[in-house]
Structure 1
Amino acid sequence: MIIDLQMKRRCILRRGLMSITQLLAGTTLATVLVAVAATPAQAAGNDPLYDKQWGLRQVHAEQAWATSTGAGVVIAVVDTGVDLNHPDMTSKLVPGATFVDCGATSCGNGDWRGPNGKPDAGDEHGTHVAGIAAAATGNGVGIAGVAPDAKIMPIKVLEAGSGSFADIAAGIRYAADHGAKVINLSLGALPGSQALTLTGLESAATQAITYAHAKGVAVIAAAGNETAPLCDTPAWEAGALCVAATDRNEVKAWYSNLGVKADLRAIAAPGGAGLVNCDDDVWSSVPLGTGSDTCGQGNYDAYAGTSMATPYVSGVAALLFAQQRRLDNVYSVLMSTARTPLGLRGVYTPIYGWGIVDAQAAVAAPRA
């Protein structure tokens, strides 16, 4: 079974090429500690693209940094790999792994180029996702991450925009066994693939998510970009938190699947408009020199998709784990403190799930 990458560049979206293979996002004493913890928020303004990061403002990330910056937490980006030499990544990385046609044993270090040493179209995706979650912040380069002091574990399970359930399952298990507290899955299968896991015809990823959940690891997964009513698998699976996408006006993004799954474990986060204006999409890191002619700035680019929404939630989850919370509390707080555009909390809707993730409210919530 092939799992397609859930991301979309703004320039491709504008041309209206809406295949699932191209669009996979539809498939990081009180007074003293607060002063120290607030440093990333104060310094974030020296990242050149920070003013373009409307998503950080939508999720109230900066207000949360005075309480938690994600220090000590590892976010595994199970994706297309990460550019290990990117200036917004080099200080943030822990050892990673590659599972692309490798079997259950890693055959690489999570670099975006993969086992053959060559980049493929779409392999920029993982670097973009990693930057949203936990790019180096306040370093005078590029962008700021949601969890400024969290670390990134790069795990490559996709090549040229697609991969197998078996490889993704191997990546999930590796992350759970090597210290990750959050696993980001900005990927998903075609609508209807939920039937494969419900009937047991495909169980590798389902069992891997159950394994990670049992070890206290949060699995955050993209809803999908097909404007479908259900979260794609693996976001559909029990143990995963499904993430739908919003635009900068807090309206559900037109491409985003709804936050509907059997256990109602779903929220929303900034994914971008996916239409015309680059600044209406989500700016983040891409492998060196791969920024698009339309939007790119060499090492940075603007993408849209539920792939981009997912690492916002992963970053907030890292902020919560850094407060020594248990998994059940992390999931509960992410959902109970999420808000609708009208400011309501604790209200589920198919469009937003439990609402747009709110970092400031989440880190202030009780830990019990």
Structure 2
Amino acid sequence: MRFLRRAAATVGVLGLTALAATTPAQAATNDPLRPKQWGLTQVRAEQAWPTSTGAGTVIAVVDTGIDLTHPDLQGKLVPGATFVDCGAQATVCSDGNWKGTDGVGQEADSHGTHVAGIAAAVTNNGLGVAGVAPDAKLMPIKVLEDGSGTTEDIANGIRWAADRGADVINLSLGSLPGTQVLSIIGVDTAVEEAIAYARTKGAVSVIAAGNTSTIACTSPGFSSSGLCVGSTDKTELKSVFSELPIKPDLKVLAAPGGFGYGGCDDDIWSTVPREVTSSCGVAGYDAYAGTSMATPHVAGVAALLLAQGRSVDQTEKALLSTARTPVVGLRGTFTPLYGYGIVDAQAAVAAPR
């Protein structure tokens, strides 16, 4: 597991690195790594595409930035921004590139590129992976450098994205367990307030639950108005590293995030900057695990729903009411292990408004 150093005032990415190789599955696209994308199969994304592909929507990846030249992402990008290391006189600078203002890309900052590919990589192009929302656009918002950043920068990034038309805010980041108390008592509420603001602008916020196996979503997932996402593995069991998806308003779901302790194909394949050495041996692609990887699966399904003209409330209702609990087969029923269940794109796009 790769956890990044964080203090109460900082927020880091919620991801784990992966290990070795193999295991295929059926696929309808010609993306060569699609057979390894069991997560796309688990959320039933392809079955939803005849109804919605996410066309006309924008997913803001508020994270470590995106590799703007990656061939599996390049055609999907709208203008973005950087909020970290902008200098004393500027709040915002640059374009959301993963390399940041110094032009140097740290390995930890491959995270945002990986998240972006899960949500909306170019699909059926004969390259790499497929995205959950194949026709959604991606907005790169860099608020973390070398995997960590301040709540102020994250809040500014969320507000900037919302003001520029982002329909979904993907937050694959979070604070250490226990820091929920800071926002509860009003000490540090900047990110929660920014998420509430984005909601007034018509954006759905989707937030990682955390990777330390505690009993509740970490902040900002715990105390914000956004959806909190826990992780499942290839067998649809709760991932051992995932927090239980629990928060006061119970707006929680589960989605594929991987195993974290097995081979590459037990985890989530997606895009990474080509300069980063792939631990799985495929240039420009790698398999990671974490609630960070679960979150963009939900963000992609949210984009499919918003593309149907649904409101924020209607989108959240469709996601929660159609999610399925494994084994028992319940839908839209809360359980501590899965929240309202694993997100189901096929059922969600068919749900009444």
TM bin (shorter chain)? over 0.9
Q: Distance in 2 between matches of 1:283 and 1:224?
A: 19
Query: In structure 2, the residue corresponding to 1:91 is in which secondary structure?
Result: helix
- In structure 1, the residue matched to 2:12 is 4
- In structure 1, the residue matched to 2:296 is 311
Query: In structure 2, the residue corresponding to 1:122 is in which secondary structure?
Result: helix
User: C-alpha offsets along residues 120-157 of structure 1, whole Å, 9 cap, x if unaligned?
Assistant: 23000000000000000000000000000000000000
Matches within 5 A, 1:325-336: 325-336=310-321
Structure 1 residue runs without a partner (length 5+): 13-41
Matches within 5 A, 1:275-286: 275-286=261-272
Pairwise CA distance, 1:43: 9.2
Q: Distance in 2 between matches of 1:118 and 1:282?
A: 26
- In structure 1, the residue matched to 2:3 is none
Q: Distance in 1 between matches of 2:191 and 2:28?
A: 37
Which among 167, 189, 192 is matched to residue 153 of structure 2?
A: 167
Q: Distance in 2 between matches of 1:43 and 1:221?
A: 28
Pairwise CA distance, 1:270: 0.1
Task: Verify the 8 A CA contact 1:43 1:138 in the aligned structure 2.
Answer: no
- In structure 1, the residue matched to 2:50 is 66
Whether 1:56 aligns to 2:64 is no
Whether 1:194 aligns to 2:202 is no
Whether 1:79 aligns to 2:63 is yes
Query: In structure 2, the residue corresponding to 1:290 is in which secondary structure?
Result: coil
Q: Distance in 1 between matches of 2:203 and 2:319?
A: 14
User: C-alpha offsets along residues 11-40 of structure 1, whole Å, 9 cap, x if unaligned?
Assistant: 39xxxxxxxxxxxxxxxxxxxxxxxxxxxx
- In structure 2, the residue matched to 1:89 is 73
Identity of aligned residues (%): 61
Q: Distance in 1 between matches of 2:302 and 2:175?
A: 24
Task: Verify the 8 A CA contact 1:212 1:218 in the aligned structure 2.
Answer: yes
Task: Verify the 8 A CA contact 2:59 2:303 in the aligned structure 1.
Answer: yes
Moved more, 232-241 or 179-188: 232-241
Amino acid at match of 2:230: A
Which among 99, 116, 120 is matched to residue 134 of structure 1?
A: 120
- In structure 2, the residue matched to 1:299 is 284
Task: Verify the 8 A CA contact 1:81 1:114 in the aligned structure 2.
Answer: yes
Query: In structure 2, the residue corresponding to 1:123 is in which secondary structure?
Result: helix
User: C-alpha offsets along residues 271-321 of structure 1, whole Å, 9 cap, x if unaligned?
Assistant: 0010121101000000013142x3130100000000000000000000000
Pairwise CA distance, 1:44: 5.0
Query: In structure 2, the residue corresponding to 1:45 is in which secondary structure?
Result: coil
Pairwise CA distance, 1:237: 2.4
Q: Distance in 1 between matches of 2:244 and 2:150?
A: 24
Query: In structure 2, the residue corresponding to 1:262 is in which secondary structure?
Result: coil
Aligned length: 337
Q: Distance in 1 between matches of 2:160 and 2:281?
A: 33
Amino acid at match of 2:112: G
Matches within 5 A, 1:39-54: 45-54=29-38
Q: Distance in 2 between matches of 1:312 and 1:296?
A: 24
Task: Verify the 8 A CA contact 2:70 2:274 in the aligned structure 1.
Answer: yes
In the TM superposition, structure 1's runs of 4+ consecutive aligned residues that sit over 6 Å from their partners are: none
Structure 2 residue runs without a partner (length 5+): 1-8, 21-25
> TM-score, normalised to structure 1's length?
0.90
Q: Distance in 1 between matches of 2:185 and 2:281?
A: 43
- In structure 1, the residue matched to 2:309 is 324
Matches within 5 A, 1:216-231: 216-231=202-217
Query: In structure 1, the residue corresponding to 2:301 is in which secondary structure?
Result: helix
Amino acid at match of 1:108: S
> TM-score, normalised to structure 2's length?
0.93
Task: Verify the 8 A CA contact 1:224 1:244 in the aligned structure 2.
Answer: yes
Q: Distance in 2 between matches of 1:70 and 1:350?
A: 30
- In structure 2, the residue matched to 1:38 is none
Q: Distance in 1 between matches of 2:125 and 2:170?
A: 24
